[in-house]
Chains A and B, each alone.
Chain A
Amino acid sequence: MAATPLHLVGAKTKNVPLVVYSSQGYDKNTVKAFQKATGIPTQLVDDSTGPLLARIAAEANNPQWGLLWVDGDEAFAALDRQGTLLKHFEPKVDWTAAARKVIPSDKSYVPTGFTLACALIYNSAEVSTPPSTWAQLSQPQWKGDLGMNNPSISGPTYPCVAGVMNHDRGISAGEQYFLQLKNNGLVIHDVNGDTLNALESGQIKLALIQSSAAIGAAEDSSLKVAFLKPETLLPSVIGIDSKVSHQERLEAERFAAFVLSKPGQHQMQTGDPTGDSLYWPVLQGVNPLPALPQFSGVPYQVVNAYTWGPKEATLNTWFTNNVVS
Chain B
Amino acid sequence: MKTLSLPGQPSKRGRGSLRAAPGLFGWTGLALVLVVPVGLFLLTAFSPRLFDQGSAWLSVASFQSAIQSGVLPGIFDSILVGGITAVTSVAVALVLAWWVARTNLLGRGLWSFLMWAVLLSPSYLVALGWEQVLVSHGAFWDLGLRVPWLTNLFFGPVGVAFVYITKGVPFAFLAVAPALAGIGREYEDAARIHGAGRIGAWRTLLPMLAPALWAGLALVFAETISDFGVADTLAASSKFPLATFTLFNAIDNYPVHFPVAAAVGWFLVGAVGLALLLQARAIRGRVYGVLSGRTRNPVRIQLPRWGQFLGVGIAAGFFVLALGAPVLGALTSSLLKPGAGHLAVAELTTTYYRHLFHTGSLIAPLEFSARMAAIVASIVAVLAVAMAHFLTRRQAGLGARMLDLLLLATIALPGIVLGAGYIFAYNLPFINDVGIHLYGTALLLGMAYLAGALPTTTRILVGPLAQVDQSPVQAARVHGAGPLRAWVSAVVPVVARSCLWAWLLTFTGVLFELPVSQMLYPPGQFPLSVAITSALSTYIYGPGTAMIVVSIAFALAVVAVAMLGFRWLTPRGWRNIAVAQR
Contacts and interface: CB of A to CB of B under 8 A. Distances in A.
B395 interface: no
B77 interface: no
Given A44-B524, A59-B427, A201-B138, A193 B237 contact: no
B69 interface: yes
Given A58-B420, A201-B137, A221-B339, A50 B252 contact: yes
Nearest to A323: B239
A287 interface: no
A13 interface: no
Contacts of A202: 137, 341
B53 A190 contact: no
B255 interface: yes
Contact of B51 (A61, A192, A194, A223): A61
Contact of A190 (B232, B257, B518): B232
A274 B538 contact: yes
A153 B251 CA distance: 12
Interface string A238-270: 000000000000000000000000000000000
A58 B519 contact: yes
B70 interface: yes
Contacts, number: 161
B539 A192 contact: yes
B204 interface: no
Interface in A299-325: 309-310, 312-313, 316-317, 320-321, 324-325
Interface string B239-263: 1010000000111111111100000
B52 interface: yes
Interface residues of B, number: 60
Interface in A36-57: 43-48, 50-51, 53-55, 57
A128 to B, nearest CB: 19
Nearest to B440: A64
A85 interface: no
Contacts of B536: 193
Contacts of B258: 57-58
Contact of A55 (B255, B423, B537): B423
Interface stretch (A99-107, A164-172, A212-220, A224-232): A212-220
A149 to B, nearest CB: 11
Given A55-B518, A152-B236, A61 B254 contact: no
Interface stretch (B128-136, B189-197, B206-214, B383-391): B128-136
A78 interface: yes
B540 interface: yes
Contact of A153 (B136, B232, B255, B541): B232
A94 interface: no
B23 to A, nearest CB: 32
Interface residues of A, number: 63
A203 B427 contact: no
A158 to B, nearest CB: 8
A104 to B, nearest CB: 16
Nearest to A74: B254
B202 to A, nearest CB: 44
A221 B132 CA distance: 21
A272 interface: yes
Task: Identify the interface centre among B250, B256, B539: most chain A CB within 10 Å of its CB.
Answer: B539
Interface of B: 51-53, 69-70, 128, 131-132, 135-138, 232-233, 236-237, 239, 241, 249-258, 338-342, 416, 419-420, 423-424, 427-429, 432, 439-440, 515, 518-519, 521, 523-524, 526, 530, 533-534, 536-541
Interface of A: 17, 19, 23, 25, 43-48, 50-51, 53-55, 57-62, 64, 74-75, 78, 150, 152-153, 158, 188-190, 192-194, 196-198, 200-203, 212-213, 216-217, 220-223, 272, 274-275, 309-310, 312-313, 316-317, 320-321, 324-325
* Nearest 6 CB-CB pairings of A with B: A43-B523, A221-B339, A57-B256, A203-B137, A60-B52, A58-B423
14 contacts: A46-B526, A48-B534, A61-B429, A62-B432, A74-B254, A152-B253, A153-B236, A190-B233, A190-B237, A200-B339, A274-B540, A275-B539, A320-B236, A325-B239
